[in-house]
Structures are given as C-alpha cells and as structure tokens.
Chain A
Amino acid sequence: MSGAAIFALARRTFADARGRTVGFVLLFALVAYAQPAAYRSDYPTLRDRLGFVHAFAGNASLRLFYGRPLDLLSVGGYSAWRVGGILAIFSAVWGMLSATRALRAEEDSGRAEILAAAPLSRARMFLASVCGCLSGAFVLWAALVVGLLAGRLPAGGSAYLALATVAPGLVFLGLGALACQLASSRRVALELTGAVLLVSLLVRVVADTSSSLGWLRWLTPLGWSEELRAFAGARPGVIALPVALAAASLVGAGALWLGRDVGRGLLSTRDVARARLQWLSSPTALAFREERWSLSGWLVGSGFFALVVGLISTSVANAGISSSLRRQLRRLGATSITHPAGYIGLSFLFFVLAISVFACSQVAAARHEEAEGRLEVVLALTVSRRRWLGGRLALAAAAVVALSVTVGVLAWAGAASQHAGVSLATMLEAGLNCAPAAILFLSIAALAYALVPRASTAVAFAVVTVSFVWQLLSSIVGAPAWLRELSPFEHVGLVPAQPLKGGAAAVMLGVAALACAVAVWAFSRRDLVGI
C-alpha cells in the first residue's frame, strides 16, 4: 500500500517538473548532438585537428565555460570537453532547481503539510520526492546519450560521458535537498545552493586556468566531472566522489527532515521583531526592501567572480596563433584572446549572462507577488498598475546597472593588481556594456509577464538560456549570419578586447524601452492571475 503511495507521489514530483525537464532534455540532446557533429565536419583530418589544438588547448578563456580539454584530437575527447564542460554547470542548475521545487516549494505552499498528515511516513514521503527527482536525472542522462549517439559517438563512451555530465546534477540535487531543510522558503534554499554552485564554478575556473592550482579541481563537484576523463583515459573510480557526496547529503537532508517542524526551516529567523519603518512608503520601496538581501548576494557573488577574472587575466597562456587559425577564433567572437584584455573581454560574456539571469529573477519576483495574491492587496490601494510595474522594472534596471558597475570596477581592481594594463575607464565601460543586453532580457521577461503571466518565469529564463547557448553553438554549427544575430549576446562587443558596440547597445535599449512600454500597457489591460 505504501509502495503505491510512494509511486504516486514520485510520479507527481516528476510531473510537476515536466516543463523544466522538457527544456533541459532539448538543450542537452541538442548540444550533445551538435558538438561532435560540428567538430567532425570542421576538422576532418588530423592536420586540421592539430591546428585547432595548437590554438585552443592552451587558451584559458575558453576554459571558463568549458573546463580543461584533455584530448582534442578525437571527436570523443573534443565532445567531452565541449559537451561535458558546459552541461555539467547546467546539470548542477537542474539539480538545485529540481530539489528545491520538489521539497521546499511543496512546503511553502502547504501541500507538504497535507501529505505529512496522511498515513504515509515522513521518510517515505522524502524518499518519494527524491525518487521523482532522480527519475528526472535519468531522463537527462538518456537525452545526453541519445544526442551523443546521434552525433555518431560509441555507445559505451557516450553513456560514460553522459554520466560524468549528470553527476554534478546529482550532487546539487543532494545539496539542494540539504538547503531545503535549512531555509524557510524555496527562494532562500535556491540562493544558498546557488552560492555553493557559484563557488564550485569559481574553484573550477581557477583550477582550469592557472598552471599551478590544478589540484583545486578535486575540491569541486564540477571538477570531478572533468576528472572522470570521458574519452580521454577514463577514470571510472572518480564517480564514487559525486555519488558519495550526493548520497551523504540526501541522507543528511532526510535525517534533518525527520527531525524538524514541517513548513519551517532550521535557519528560520525570529518570528517577533521590532518594527523597522524604512522602505515602506511605496510598492517599489517595499520591493527593494524585500529584494535587498538577494541583491546584496548577487553583488557580492558576481563582484567576487569579477575580481578573480581580473586576478587571473595575466596568467593566460600566450599561445602563438598562426594566421590561418585566426579565422576560427573569430568565429567564436574572440579576436585577440592572447592578452589580458582579450581574456577579460570574453569572460565578461559570462557576466552579461549572469546579470541577464538576475534581471529575469526580478520579473519572476514580481510574478510571485501576483501569484501569491499580494498584488491584489496593493492594487486595491491607490496604486495604478503602471506605477506598480513601472516601479518594479525601474528598480530591476537600476540593480542591473549597479551590478554592471560592480563587476567592471572589481575586475579592474583584480587586473590592476596584476599590472594587466587595463584602465578603470575601460573596465567601467566593460561593466556597463553588460547592461543593455540584460535590460533587453528584462524587457522580454516583462513582456512575457504581461502576456502569459503563468508561464512568464519559465519563458524569461528560457529566452536567456537559449540565446546564450545559441550564441555558443551557432558559430560552431556554422549557422548563417542572420540566424546567429538572433541572439542578443551576438551584439555585445567584447569590451575591452573589442570596442563597445554603441549602435547595437542603443538599439537594444530602444527595443527594451518599447517592450517595457508595451508590457505595462498590456499588463494594465489584463486580469490579475493567481497561481
């Protein structure tokens, strides 16, 4: 009987996440197929591949997203680098989203309380949710295998590479489950796990880009994926590390779950507090008050990352690049990555992505306000919809600019300390260069919010992710220019290596202003929508 209950609950968990699962499956299968296929057609002969290795193997900036290449002469080795490196990060993101949705969101909504009151032990309840998440991980693994097989890689190696790529997802599933026990809301759980992921990525970047700190790779789950060495002298024993950490954190989370109050977190803040009356004068002020810790986290996290990028910018290996390969480099958008400015320029693409994700999270917070029914209370006061949404978007745009300036200044501080030869003015320009694209994504998210409120959060994050992945993929698969240029990332000049694309930035800001205006207009004409 309880077996049936566990099955029903696990299936519910899996079904609740179906939208996200489909998105990740498509992404994983597409990337897994495209990378080996493109490599095989672009570098058919050993000579081509040697040339490629000569240019890329030592290039630190590419390692930021993809990790350390081990074997670039075989299709499998190249795929392990390009597929495994970046999808390991996405798989970690999937793991934390999945765990916090299945465990914490259920408690936030009060549904967990209903289940915990049913004749079903809490251990089985936890087990069922975790099984639902694990079946999602299995589907992702299968999607990768299918993609790699379609890219004509051998079955055994494909299965192994897929496992190495999904492994961080399992770890962050466990860590997310642990955070769900500590935090008192899904949002805080996500922020805790996100901070761990950021540190993991940072450690991997340092380990992969500096010559002497390679051992750091053993300290990060993302590094373990690399150390599994798919298609390059596989070391299957390493799988014990992610599996052990995932299992330990899941068991730990389960134990904490059994011993705590349903609906509360172990880190719950005090329930009684003296009134603090700042930032209560308008809905926008309250939004700032509610978002201030999240914003501080983003400022500290991205600022720290920027500092590291600046610090390691001078240690980039100075590979001599033959003129015949400059064309290949240009296709990746990096014209001059052999000096610090070039490295910083390409790295800042990451900040454009991060700040865009932040912008979307602000619209998601606005949507949450509506779904929870609080917006109804606000709009029944003397607040117009234009004022509410306009204020919210202005706040998000201001935060985007603050983040942009912060990463610029801190990357400069790191670079200047290593005498990298970039000026503060240039780095401020590089920072502010992140803003137009992020504000464009903000406006797209706002539009989605006004037109399809229930789907808006998913749509907003999907647009950013797809644009970014497309920017990375389209140059490799040789898509025509007009298709490549669909991605806003394509129009971001890699300051300081390239000049700021002022015209493109102006167009992005213009489109953003228009989209925001349309969003406010459309929002003023629709019904408020609950959960």
Chain B
Amino acid sequence: MPPASSPSRSPAAGHGGTAARTAIATFGLCKRYGSTRALEDLSVSVPRGQVYGYLGPNGAGKTTTIRLLLGLHRPTAGRAELFGIDAWGEPVAAHARAAYVSGEPALWPSLTAAETLEFLARVRGGSDLAYRELLVERFQLEADRRVRALSKGNRQKIQLVAAFATRAELLILDEPTAGLDPLMEVAFRETVLEAKEREQTVFLSSHILSEVEALCDRVGILRSGRLVDEGTLAELRHLSARTLEVSFRGAPPRLDGVPGVSVVEQRGRRLRLEVNGELAPLIEVLARHPVEALTSREPSLEEIFLHHYREPGEGTRREATAHGEATGPAAGR
C-alpha cells in the first residue's frame, strides 16, 4: 500500500515514455490572480533523480509554481504534471508520489512535534519510521514540545523530517531552510544528498545561492513570473559573462571597442572586465600592452543571478533555453 516505498522504480503506467523519465513537467503553465500575472508560460521539465534549484527573489512566483505543481491552485492556462499525472485533475494520485515542505511552517499549535509527525505519516502512509528516527536525531527535534512553543526554524524541522521520512519519489521544498541555523543547514544538505543517492528527485525553491550551488544539478531562474534562465550550473556559467581582472605596468588601455567586453571597474592601473562570449579578441588587444597580472574566473551563481535582476529586459534573452537550446550570448549591451 505505501506508494513511496520503491522510489523511481515503477514506471508511470499508461502515461507514455517521457513520463517514466520525468518527475515534473509543466506545459505553458500560467497563473493570474485577478489582474496580477503571477506566472507566465512556464514550460519546464525535471528528469527523475535530479536536484532542481528554483531561484528567484521574493514575489517572483516560486510559491505560485509550487502551488500549481501540487494542484492547490488552478492553472489559468497550461498544465502541470508529476510523473505524467495531472496535478490539478488527479492531485491525490500525484501526491502519493511526492512530499511537500511549505515555506510557511503552518502546523497545529496544540500538537507536539511527535504528534504532528505521527499525523502526517498516518495520513499519507508509507513513511520509513527507522529513517524518521534518524532524522529526528539529526535535526535535533524536540519531539515532546508543542508546536506553538517552537520557533519558526524548529517548526520547519518538523516539516523536513516528515517529508524526507516519506521517501517519496519527489520532494517539493519551498524555501525549506528559511529559519534554519547553520548547523541545521548542514544537516539539510546531508539529507538532500542522501535523497539524491536514493534517486529521489528534489525540487528546491530557494534564494540561498550557496545552497543551490552546492546541491543542484540544474537551476531555473525566475523573474516576475517568467523563467529567464535555465540549465546546469556549467551551462549558466558558460553563457554568462566571465570576470577578468587585469593589472598593467603603465596606464590601462581603452578597451571599450573590443567586442563582448565591458569595463566594470577601474582602480588605478587595475581593470575589472566582464567578457561575454569569446576571449580571443580581448587577448589580442591585451597582448599589445604591458600586462602585469591577469586573473580570470567563472561567474558565481550570485553574479549570474544578480545579472538577471539588474538589467530589465535583458532577462528574456535566453527564454528558449527552457527548451534546451541556447541562443547564445547577447551581442553587446
């Protein structure tokens, strides 16, 4: 009876080939609340066994997406599927294979932590009680304390323990580490990696970039309800500007005309540059000048992220990557 006891082994019967390999798929998913466009035309697919990072600032539409994935809100257009099962049409069948941690740890104030875990386990079924014990230890949960006496972080820990103990094929986590202390953040990462080893799929909504960088195979970046970038971390880096720092022995040359290059900062004889695309044109120019030192590094996720929010209109340039085909870097600025 426990539907989640054999993770990612059972192919979704009758839902075709792609459903067997895909944990989450959305097709032109839109959500409007009155005149507010919360989510626009989201088409994304998360293969089984991946940890997918869903990034965006407050109000970008992350929680809306998750509510649509769980069939808690009804899509204005398009649809969302979990393992090929329509999230709005057959929520119970879809939820049998997924577990959820909400961003607001809303639980029953009069129940103790242990009673809450018991309720969630009994109603859903299929929890691994031995693993739950381990998680209670790991997250240092005070099991006999009532929820109303727990801090936000401690309430969040109850939800995390309950969700991971289900061993569901898919874990949908909405900013799960908000309110967790650094020790618990480490426990969380350890648990996500264990889930990944077990080939569970994790959909992790977050705005903690280091967490996403450490855990996720793929990342989607959301801005104002639109997916503005998507890919593996390597892909995102490849497509984004590299940062170069160059020191010259004399006065730095003017580099404004070099294709793909922009000067971010000049401090004395040092320049900080951002380079989109090929490095060759820049190297050619630099070779004619007395370069003292040169460092080059890939952009951090933070830089990629900030890049998408600093420049209005810029973000839409790689929407097509949502479907796996990059159109290449934008030419110039």
Contact = CB atoms under 8 A, between A and B. Distances in A.
Given A380-B95, A380-B100, A383-B123, A271 B73 contact: no
B125 interface: yes
Given A271-B148, A275-B112, A373 B104 contact: yes
A377 B124 contact: no
A216 interface: no
Contact of B96 (A277, A282, A382): A382
A377 B108 CA distance: 10
Contacts of A333: none
Contacts of B143: 275
B95 to A, nearest CB: 5
B40 interface: no
B263 interface: no
A271 B114 contact: no
A525 interface: yes
A218 B114 CA distance: 50
B15 to A, nearest CB: 18
B74 interface: yes
Interface string B134-147: 00000000011110
Interface string A262-274: 0000000011111
A109 to B, nearest CB: 13
Interface string B102-125: 101011111010110011101111
A91 B104 CA distance: 38
B72 interface: yes
B91 A384 contact: yes
B330 interface: no
A1 B180 CA distance: 39
Interface in B69-115: 70, 72-74, 91-92, 95-96, 98-100, 102, 104, 106-110, 112, 114-115
B258 interface: no
Contacts of A114: none
B120 A381 contact: yes
A185 B122 CA distance: 28
Contacts of B123: 281-283, 378, 381-383
Contacts of A379: 70, 72, 91
Contacts of A383: 92, 123
A286 B119 contact: yes
B108 A276 contact: no
- Interface of B, secondary structure class, is mixed
B110 A290 contact: yes
Interface residues of B, number: 38
A382 B95 CA distance: 6
B237 interface: no
B125 A527 contact: no
Given A271-B145, A275-B118, A275-B143, A380 B102 contact: yes
B272 interface: no
Interface string A67-95: 00000000000000000000000000000
Interface in A501-531: 525-528
Nearest to A273: B112
B144 A275 contact: yes
B107 A374 contact: yes
Nearest to B114: A275
Contact of A286 (B91, B95, B108, B172): B108
Nearest to B97: A382
Contacts of A48: none
A280 B122 contact: yes
11 contacts: A272-B112, A274-B144, A373-B102, A376-B67, A376-B106, A377-B100, A377-B102, A379-B72, A383-B123, A527-B73, A528-B73
Interface of A: 184-185, 270-277, 280-283, 286, 290, 372-374, 376-385, 525-528
4 closest residue pairs by CB, A with B: A373-B106, A271-B149, A380-B100, A275-B114
